[in-house]
Amino acid sequence: MAGQLSIAKALNEALRKSLENDPKTLLMGEDIGKLGGVFRITDGLQKDFGEDRVIDTPLAESGIVGTAIGLALRGYRPVVEIQFDGFVYPAFDQIVSQLAKMHARALGHVKMPVTVRIPFAGGIGAVEHHSESHEAYFAHTAGLRVVTPSNAHDAHWMLRQAIASDDPVIFLEPKRRYWDKGEVGDSADLGLHSARVVRPGADATLIAYGPMVKVCQEAAAAAEEDGRRLEVVDLRSISPIDFATVEESVKRTGRAIVVHEAPVFMGLGSELAARITERCFYHLEAPVLRVGGYHAPYPPSRVEESYLPDLDRVLDAVDRALAF
Amino acid sequence: MTVKSTTRARKKAAPAVPDTLPPVLSEAQSSESQPDAQPELIQLLTPEGIRVEHPDFPLTTTPEELRSLYRDLVLVRRFDAEATSLQRQGELGLWASLLGQEAAQVGSGRAMRTGDYAFPTYREHGVAWCRDVDPLNLLGMFRGVNHGGWDPNEKNFHLYTIVIGAQTLHATGYAMGITKDSADDAVIAYFGDGASSQGDVSEAFTFASVYNAPVVFFCQNNQWAISEPTTNQTRIPLYRRASGFGFPGVRVDGNDVLACLAVTRWALDHARSGNGPVLVEAFTYRMGAHTTSDDPTRYRATEETESWKVKDPISRLKAYLEHEGLADEAFFAELEAESEQLGLRVREGVRNMPDPDPTLIFDHVYAEPHTLVDEERAEYEAYAASFEGGENH
Ligand SMILES: Cc1ncc(C[n+]2csc(CCOP(=O)(O)OP(=O)(O)O)c2C)c(N)n1
Ligand SMILES: [Mg+2]
């Protein structure tokens, strides 16, 4: 794909290609038609593919996911947009008890190729319910796949892979990075569930995904000025997690710091810390550290900077890890 | 008034919300102006077994069809009784009996065409019977060998859904798909009086009406949601909920298999002809406990249950068959023998139903390979193999 695309445009192109390639692909969501979605990710698609395939739904999240399940049973491949992270909870039963379990309950007789796109996480100065990181809920649910891209190339190809998957995929879009631009390659260079080492290093491994990958890359660049070489792993997939890549990295560096916006308590970092301890115990020079949100409701925007992990908090954790 | 003939062409967009109720509703049913008026119950066969006509729902039946419906009712009840006793014997963990609701299920189930699709709750054993689903399939989840497991597309009968109301949305989505395919199939979404309070049911009503989806919402109002009477769910007769969503609602005698057949047939044809959804409230009674774990003596009076006994769906059809001379001794005797055979097959089938291999746990979590599931399966297998003889337990 020629030139630099924003993540938003890369996603839009991915939806367009998916609609073009498979007549069974449908988009469903609130304000995704004429408006093109509140973030314009579906911009122009209803005009080109019609109201039957790019469907402005009633304002009912459970209804959107529940009818998407029925459409999947009829042979369609729905891609659902939840307008914001905090509004997915009305659909929680349909996602967790219906969508995720249907394939197992039917002993494999039916497939659930439903993609649920959710703009997630904070940093855009929004009012409440518009900045949440709820990946742990979904990762905790067997039957769902959970992924999040951090750049335009991955946004494009991972979304196409997610839509092509015969399993339900929760596709989390780092909304504060929607306007970040990057090169989008001509083909997917990795599978949907592979992690990517986005910066090599030797002294410690920063593990992040979605919006925090950029923060970690900046932290690594800053640390280099102090002579510290930090490796950055972009998980890309939250369920399943590519532990092989994580393990390989941490065995080399001996130190791991997991960074996410979601609250630290019971967050992905806890799972990663436990697994790294099990797999890399004799290679570790320090306990696995976690940097993330606090056990508090996502704060009002005037103080969100203090809640969100930033370069300084990541470097503070690096200092602590290296001090062991 | 007779049922308006409908067009074949499926409308793309929803019709404008009618400002009066659709013409199919009789005066008595559209009594919003008198909210306390007793709603009319569409009935074609009285509890005494007298055949009556209803102007909106004419039904012609051959003696053979009547005998066939009677056979369904009897066999479905027999299957249900067998399952209840299998639970008592410890062969099933739980059973949700349909006792008393046979007519609602057989009438609506027999109204469906082959291409139509049913989305059941956990109590639709009679509908499953009509869809030709092997009764043993239904027992797997109550025995604990699976969570359903049959192929829903084989008989167009979806898996049982325990989360009340959730399946009404699946039914609606499926029906939206039928519209997209320009097919003339229709869908029935089954749910209960208790489920009518669930948000998912309201959302299903909204989606179905907005997209004009060919779905019939079939509510079996069996008067109880475990221990809660219908008055805990609604102030108006449930069928009237439909008018607020812009589609017709009717109340039918749920213990009258002929009325359930005629009304559901009409509703399915209404839906499949491009006129959008219909709500059918089948007014019936749960004669047994909610499930085998329930104790209804704690919340309802025996007199109430007794008063419904005289409205029994099977005895009224039997009375009709007998006094019209539509079935002879030999028919009833043969059916009794068939019923015994069914009981035997179900008993033996359940007792011989093997426990699944524990690795079933990992088998169908995902359609495509998943590293974590593969890893945990390998761990489990290694652990199981570490026991003497490599047994799984
Ligand atoms: C969402 C949800 N809440 C609670 C329950 C527990 N529960 C199972 S059946 C039932 C009553 C349902 O009543 P109704 O819809 O009238 O159906 P019926 O059992 O009478 O056929 C309840 C509360 C459930 N299965 N799902
Ligand atoms: Mg009930």
CB contact (8 A) between residue B177 and residue A165: no
Ligand 1 atom closest to Cα of residue B96: 19
> Is residue A101 within 8 angstroms of chain B, CB to CB?
yes
Among all ligands shown, which has an atom nearest to the Cα of B290?
A: 1
Cβ-nearest to A110 among B152, B178, B204: B152
- pLDDT, position B38: 60
Pocket test for ligand 1, best of B164, B197, B291 (most atoms within 8 A of CB): B164
Please identify among residues 175-234 of chain B the ones whose CB lies closer than 8 Å to any CB of chain A.
175-178, 180-181, 199-200, 203-204, 206-207, 210
Marked catalytic residue, from B88, B147, B299, B366: B299
Instruction: Say if the ipTM goes beyond 0.85.
Output: yes
Cβ-nearest to A76 among B161, B177, B207: B177
Chain A neighbors of B163, CB-CB under 8 A: 93, 97-98
- pLDDT, position B22: 43
The β-bridge partners of A208 are A234
CB contact (8 A) between residue A74 and residue B158: no
Residue A316 lies in a domain: yes
Report the domain count for chain A.
2
- pLDDT, position A300: 96
- pLDDT, position A3: 79
Distance B164 CA to ligand 1 centre (A): 5
For B172, which residue in chain A has the nearest alpha carbon?
A67
Q: Which of A317, A306, A292 is nearest to A133 (CA)?
A: A292
Residue A274 lies in a domain: yes
For A108, which residue in chain B has the nearest alpha carbon?
B364
Cβ-nearest to B371 among A62, A65, A240: A240
- Based on the fold, state whether residues A135 and A220 are members of the same structural domain: no
- Based on the fold, state whether residues A87 and A142 are members of the same structural domain: yes
- Based on the fold, state whether residues A127 and A241 are members of the same structural domain: no
Q: What is the pTM of this model?
A: 0.93
- B63-88 vs B313-323: helix crossing angle, rounded to 10: 150
- Based on the fold, state whether residues A108 and A215 are members of the same structural domain: no
- All residues at 6 or more sequence positions from A14 whose CB lies less than 8 Å from its CB, including other chains: A155, A156, A157, A159, A160, A163
Pocket test for ligand 1, best of B125, B226, B294, B308 (most atoms within 8 A of CB): B226
Q: Which of B75, B79, B70 is nearest to B136 (CA)?
A: B79
- Residue B383 annotated to the active site: no
- Residue B299 annotated to the active site: yes
Q: Does residue B112's CB lie within 6 angstroms of at least one atom of ligand 1?
A: no
Give the domain-ending residue among A159, A183, A207: A183
- Based on the fold, state whether residues A212 and A131 are members of the same structural domain: no
User: How far is A249 from chain B, CA to nearest CA, in Å?
Assistant: 18
> Is residue B54 within 8 angstroms of chain A, CB to CB?
no
Chain A neighbors of B177, CB-CB under 8 A: 70-71, 73-76
When scoring A28, A97, A99, A107 by the number of chain B Cβ atoms within 10 A, the one with the most, hence best to mutate, is A107
User: How far is B372 from chain A, CA to nearest CA, in Å?
Assistant: 6
- pLDDT, position B9: 38
CB contact (8 A) between residue A241 and residue B372: yes
- Based on the fold, state whether residues A98 and A222 are members of the same structural domain: no
Whose CA is closest to atom 11 on ligand 1? B225
Fold type of domain B2-351: Rossmann fold (3.40.50)
> Is residue A296 within 8 angstroms of chain B, CB to CB?
no
Ligand 1 atom closest to Cα of residue B192: 15
Chain A neighbors of B116, CB-CB under 8 A: none
DSSP letter string, B311-375: T-HHHHHHHHHHHTT-S-HHHHHHHHHHHHHHHHHHHHHHHTPPPPPTTHHHHTS-SS--HHHHH
- Based on the fold, state whether residues A210 and A307 are members of the same structural domain: yes
- Pair A205, A255: CB distance under 8 Å: yes
Helices (H) then strands (E): counts for chain B = 14, 7
Ligand 1 atom closest to Cα of residue B121: 21
- pLDDT, position B277: 98
Q: Does residue B174's CB lie within 6 angstroms of at least one atom of ligand 1?
A: no
CB contact (8 A) between residue A60 and residue B180: no
* Alpha carbon B348 to its chain's center: 26
CB contact (8 A) between residue A107 and residue B146: yes
Give the domain-ending residue among A183, A215, A232: A183
Each residue's pLDDT tens digit, A19-51: 999 999 999 999 999 999 999 999 999 999 999
Q: Does residue B344's CB lie within 6 angstroms of at least one atom of ligand 1?
A: no
Active centre residues of A (catalytic): 130
- Based on the fold, state whether residues A216 and A179 are members of the same structural domain: no
- Based on the fold, state whether residues A136 and A12 are members of the same structural domain: yes
Q: Locate A36 and state its tokens.
A: 């093109």
Amino acid at B344: L
Distance CA A251, CA A170 (A): 30
Per-residue pLDDT of chain A in tens (324 residues, 90 and over written 9): 667 999 999 999 999 999 999 999 999 999 999 999 999 999 999 999 999 999 999 999 999 999 999 999 999 999 999 999 999 999 999 999 999 999 999 999 999 999 999 999 999 999 999 999 999 999 999 999 999 999 999 999 999 999 999 999 999 999 999 999 999 999 999 999 999 999 999 999 999 999 999 999 999 999 999 999 999 999 999 999 999 999 999 999 999 999 999 999 999 999 999 999 999 999 999 999 999 999 999 999 999 999 999 999 999 999 999 999
Q: Where are the alpha helices (DSSP H) in chain B?
A: 63-88, 102-111, 125-130, 135-143, 152-155, 166-180, 199-210, 241-245, 257-270, 302-309, 313-323, 329-351, 360-363, 371-385
Distance B224 CA to ligand 2 centre (A): 4
Distance CA A69, CA A25 (A): 13
Domain that holds residue A16: 4-183
Distance B162 CA to ligand 2 centre (A): 13
Per-residue pLDDT of chain B in tens (393 residues, 90 and over written 9): 334 333 333 334 444 433 334 444 444 444 444 445 566 899 999 999 999 999 999 999 999 999 999 999 999 999 999 999 999 999 999 999 999 999 999 999 999 999 999 999 999 999 999 999 999 999 999 999 999 999 999 999 999 999 999 999 999 999 999 999 999 999 999 999 999 999 999 999 999 999 999 999 999 999 999 999 999 999 999 999 999 999 999 999 999 999 999 999 999 999 999 999 999 999 999 999 999 999 999 999 999 999 999 999 999 999 999 999 999 999 999 999 999 999 999 999 999 999 999 999 999 999 999 999 999 999 999 999 999 765 555
Q: Does residue B194's CB lie within 6 angstroms of at least one atom of ligand 1?
A: yes
- Based on the fold, state whether residues A70 and A206 are members of the same structural domain: no
Cβ-nearest to A70 among B163, B177, B370: B177
Chain A neighbors of B367, CB-CB under 8 A: 103, 108, 111-112, 166-167
Give the domain-ending residue among A131, A154, A183: A183
Residue A242 lies in a domain: yes
Among all ligands shown, which has an atom nearest to the Cα of B283?
A: 2
Helix (H, G, I), strand (E, B) or coil at B379: helix
Cα end-to-end span (Å), chain B: 68
When scoring B142, B169, B201 by the number of chain A Cβ atoms within 10 A, the one with the most, hence best to mutate, is B169
Helix (H, G, I), strand (E, B) or coil at B216: strand
- Would you kindly state where each structural domain of chain B is located, as residue ranges? 2-351, 359-393
- Based on the fold, state whether residues A11 and A131 are members of the same structural domain: yes
- Based on the fold, state whether residues A18 and A144 are members of the same structural domain: yes
> Is residue A59 within 8 angstroms of chain B, CB to CB?
no
The CATH number covering residue A266 comes to 3.40.50.920
Residue A191 lies in a domain: no
Q: Quick one: three-class SS letters along chain A?
A: CCCEEEHHHHHHHHHHHHHHHCCCEEEEECCCCCCCCCCCCCCCHHHHHCCCCEEECCCCHHHHHHHHHHHHHCCCEEEEECCCHHHCHHHHHHHHHHHCCHHHHCCCCCCCCCEEEEEECCCCCCCCCCCCCCHHHHHCCCCCEEECCCCHHHHHHHHHHHHHCCCCEEEEEEHHHCCCEEECCCCCCCCCCCCEEEECCCCEEEEECCCHHHHHHHHHHHHHHCCCCEEEEECCEEECCCHHHHHHHHHHHCCEEEEEEEECCCCHHHHHHHHHHHHHHHHCCCCCEEEEECCCCCCCHHHHHHHCCCHHHHHHHHHHHHHC
